[in-house]
C-alpha cells in the first residue's frame, strides 16, 4: 500500500481544514516545498497536492507551488483542486503533476472528464469520490465539498470503472481532519462491489475487458494512528492519503519510513 502524504494549499501556504470548512484553516508551514522535502527525506515517494484556492475559484491557481515541488524533489505528485478545463490540465501536467484528480468535474461535466481519461489514460487521471455518509452509503459532494449532489457513492464509482477509471481517491468528508479513524466498512463495501462487477459482466466480453482491472482504491479522511495503516492494507486499499495526523504528530515520519521499508 502506497503512503501518500497530503499538502493542501491556500495562498501558497501549507494548510489543513476540518471537514472541508475554509473557516477552520490552520497554517502548518508557509513553505510547502520544505514540507515536501521532509517527506522525501523519510523515503516517501508520493504526494497528494490539493489547490484549495483552485477548488473555490473553479480553475487552477497554485500551479507555481506544484512546479516548485516537482522541480526540486523527485516525488510523484497527484494534483487536484479546481481542474475544470483542458487548459487547467495542460497547466497542471506542464507544472510537473504525474497524475491529476478530478472530483467536481466528474460529476458536473462527465463528457470532458471522460475525454481526459481517453486522452491521458487511466494511469494519469484519478477519480475523486468525496462523499457525505448517509443511510444508503454516501452522497457525492462537489466544489470543495461545499455542495452535495444526489449521486450515490458506489454507483458513481462503478460507472466510471466501466469507463476505464482505475485510481479512485475516496474521502469521507465527515471524518476529514477529525482524527477519529477512516471509513473501514465503506472501503470494504466499495472494493467488494466494484470487484464483483467483473463477474456480473462476464457474459459481455467487451464490457468485461473495460472493467477487468480492479479499482485501485486510495483511502482518505480520518487517518489518526499508525495502527490503522495495516488494517487499510489488509482490506485491499492501494494507497492511503495522510494529512493532519502527520502535521499534528499523531503519526511520525519515522513510523511511515519503517512501514515503507517493511512493505
Q: Which of 112-142 are b and which e, b meaning 16 or more Cβ less than 10 Å from the residue's Cβ?
A: ebbebbeeeebebbbbbbbbbbeeebbbbbb
Question: Are the C-beta atoms of residues 138 and 131 closer than 8 Å to each other?
Answer: yes
For CA atoms 78, 80, 84, 87, the dihedral sign is: negative
Q: Is 8 a catalytic residue?
A: yes
- Cα separation, 247 vs 116, whole angstroms: 33
Q: Is 130 a catalytic residue?
A: yes
Write out the E strands in the chain. Answer: 2-10, 13-18, 21-29, 46-51, 76-80, 99-102, 125-132, 139-142, 147-152, 167-172, 216-220, 239-242
Question: Are the C-beta atoms of residues 82 and 39 closer than 8 Å to each other?
Answer: no
DSSP assignment of 137-158 equals S-EEEETTTTEEEEEEHHHHHH
Q: Which of 8, 53, 78, 88 is catalytic?
A: 8
The C-alpha torsion from 152 through 221 and 41 to 247, rounded to 10°, is: 150
Q: Which of 51, 78, 130, 172 is catalytic?
A: 130
Active site residues: 8, 130
Amino acid at each position: 500500500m502506497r503512503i501518500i502524504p497530503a499538502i493542501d494549499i491556500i495562498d501558497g501556504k501549507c494548510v489543513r481544514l476540518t471537514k472541508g470548512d475554509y473557516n477552520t484553516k490552520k497554517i502548518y508551514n508557509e513553505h510547502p516545498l520544505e514540507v515536501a522535502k521532509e517527506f522525501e527525506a523519510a523515503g516517501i515517494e508520493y504526494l497528494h497536492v490539493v489547490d484549495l484556492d483552485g477548488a473555490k475559484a473553479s480553475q487552477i491557481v497554485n500551479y507555481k507551488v506544484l512546479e516548485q515541488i516537482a522541480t526540486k524533489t523527485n516525488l510523484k505528485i497527484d494534483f487536484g483542486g479546481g481542474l475544470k478545463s483542458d487548459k487547467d490540465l495542460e497547466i497542471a501536467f506542464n507544472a510537473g503533476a504525474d497524475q491529476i484528480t478530478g472530483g467536481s468535474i466528474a460529476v458536473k461535466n462527465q463528457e470532458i472528464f471522460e475525454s481526459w481519461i481517453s486522452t491521458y489514460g487511466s494511469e494519469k487521471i484519478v477519480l475523486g469520490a468525496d462523499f457525505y455518509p448517509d443511510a444508503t452509503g454516501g452522497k457525492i459532494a462537489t466544489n470543495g465539498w461545499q455542495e452535495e449532489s444526489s449521486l450515490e457513492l458506489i454507483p458513481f464509482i462503478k460507472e466510471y470503472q466501466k469507463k476505464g477509471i482505475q485510481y479512485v481517491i475516496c474521502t469521507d468528508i465527515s471524518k476529514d481532519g477529525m482524527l477519529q479513524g477512516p471509513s473501514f466498512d465503506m472501503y470494504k463495501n466499495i472494493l467488494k462491489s466494484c470487484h464483483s462487477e467483473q463477474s456480473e459482466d462476464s457474459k459481455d466480453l467487451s464490457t468485461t475487458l473495460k472493467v477487468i482491472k480492479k479499482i485501485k482504491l486510495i483511502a482518505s479522511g480520518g487517518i489518526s494512528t499508525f495502527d490503522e495503516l495495516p488494517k487499510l492494507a489488509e482490506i485491499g486499499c492501494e494507497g492511503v492519503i495522510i494529512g493532519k495526523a502527520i502535521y499534528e504528530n499523531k503519526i511520525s515520519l519515522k513510523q511511515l519510513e519503517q512501514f515503507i521499508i517493511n512493505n
